[in-house]
Amino acid sequence: KGTVTVIVEYPDGTTEEVEVPVIVTPVAKPTPDKDKYTPTTEEVIVPEGTPITEKDITDKVKGIPEGAKVTVKDPSSIPGTDTPGHKGTVTVIVEYPDGSTEEVEVPVIVTPVAKPTPDKDKYTPTTEEVIVPEGTPITEKDITDKVKGIPEGAKVTVKDPSSIPGTDTPGNKGTVTVIVEYPDGTTEEVEVPVIVTPVAKPDTKPATPGKPADKPATPAAKPVAGPAAKAPAAPAAKAASQAPAAQSGAKMDVLPSTGTESNAAATAAGVGMILASLGLAGKRRRKED
């Protein structure tokens, strides 16, 4: 370090200067802890979906002395575990007992987890047709009851109740969409077909206004059983013989044919039949007496 000047004063009062050299010898310093130790790390391995804590990270730092303190440098850098794979590293700070520090990287790996098959992939719902007669309303239950092949606990609802068709007319009414919700929360849509069948309706055609109803046919006269059936011939012949003969050359008024003559003849024949029947009946009674 050079010299230091000193003054020497003798007893007789004289003085002189002397140079004193200064040398500083080195002293061995203690090695800092950060140079004494070489920390190692293990991978943080967690299953997919399992959150990672700061302790999960710091516990993976090894090879440090007792009393050393390990902290995560930035907690927000801890990765999520929603997806599997290598998630990089998380920086931690190792503080040794002598106060020295160093940074270490801790790797993170998220392993995949076998997921259960969702119910919607386990089951294949089937449907039956909703068949109702014309004019019969269709309820939501009519629709949902036709969904088959689903597990116990599954819930079936009509996606849009207003889509349920009317039944005023027969025919194929298309399908109604229903939602099947399985016990695990998964859902799928299924189509339920609807058919409306025709119903025979009574003939309610009204009569044409102003048109007279058809006349019922005149029932045929009942034939009289037994000998009376031959009786009408005699009175008719007698009536014909008793009719006055037209005088030769006499002028006769001819009326237009209106059907009146035939009606009169039919009436006369009927009366004759009745009289003949009564006459025969009287004869038979007298004979018996």
Q: Per-residue pLDDT tens for 244-268?
A: 443 444 444 444 444 444 444 444 5
Question: How many domains does one find in the chain?
Answer: 2
Can you give the CATH number for the domain in which 166 is found?
Answer: 2.60.40.10
Last residue of some domain: 95, 111, 127? 111
pLDDT of the residue at 207: 56
Same domain, 127 and 95: no
Q: Is residue 276 part of a domain?
A: no
Whether the Cβ atoms of residue 44 and residue 109 lie closer than 8 Å to each other: yes
Last residue of some domain: 48, 80, 111? 111
Same domain, 98 and 59: yes
Q: Is residue 206 part of a domain?
A: no
Question: How many Cα atoms sit within 13 Å of 238 on the Cβ side?
Answer: 10
Q: How far is CA 155 from CA 141, 147, 178, in A?
A: 12, 10, 10
pLDDT of the residue at 273: 59
Q: Is residue 223 part of a domain?
A: no
Q: Is residue 8 part of a domain?
A: no
Same domain, 95 and 165: no
Same domain, 99 and 128: no
Domain that holds residue 85: 33-111
Structure tokens given for 1: 């370090």
210: left (phi over 0), alpha (psi -120 to 50) or beta: left
pLDDT of the residue at 210: 54
Question: What's the rounded Cα separation, in Å, for the pair 150 and 188?
Answer: 11
Same domain, 153 and 134: yes
Segments of the chain with pLDDT less than 50:
213, 216-217, 219-267, 280-289
Last residue of some domain: 175, 197, 219? 197
pLDDT of the residue at 192: 98
Q: Is residue 242 part of a domain?
A: no
Same domain, 156 and 89: no
Which of these, 158, 166, 162, 163, lies nearest to 136 by C-alpha position? 166
